[in-house]
Amino acid sequence: MSETIDAAADRVIAAHKAGDADALKNAVKSLAAARRRRKKQTRLATAAASDSGKGGRPSKVTEAIRARISELRKTGMAAGPIAEDVGLSEATVLRVIRSLTDAAKPA
């Protein structure tokens, strides 16, 4: 079984205190490997949670929210009040509005 980051860090500390250079070198390698495994696990977990499957955070903007933003924008409402209404930041609402207008433009 793979060593955890905490266990590998404990080995590094113990080897350092003991002054054993070879044990310290091996413990540092083990710690680096444990960190790489953790990073890979985290990357895979976020990719699975992401809407696009490419990693990162899952989007807070669902299709229902996009439709609501579009509907409110068509009534002439500004981005700030729309953001308050749907519970997102104004910057996120502006990005959605921009993506909606870009999608509506002919190619």
Q: Does residue 47 contact residue 53 with C-beta atoms inside 8 Å?
A: yes
pTM: 0.47
**Full pLDDT tens readout for the chain, 107 residues:** 578 889 899 999 999 999 999 999 999 999 999 999 888 888 777 766 665 555 566 678 889 999 999 999 999 999 999 999 999 999 999 999 998 888 777 76
Write the CA distances from 74 to 26, 67, 84, integer angstroms: 63, 11, 17
Ranges of each domain in the chain: 5-49, 63-104
Nearest to 55, CA basis, from 39, 35, 36: 39
Nearest to 41, CA basis, from 94, 4, 90, 86: 4
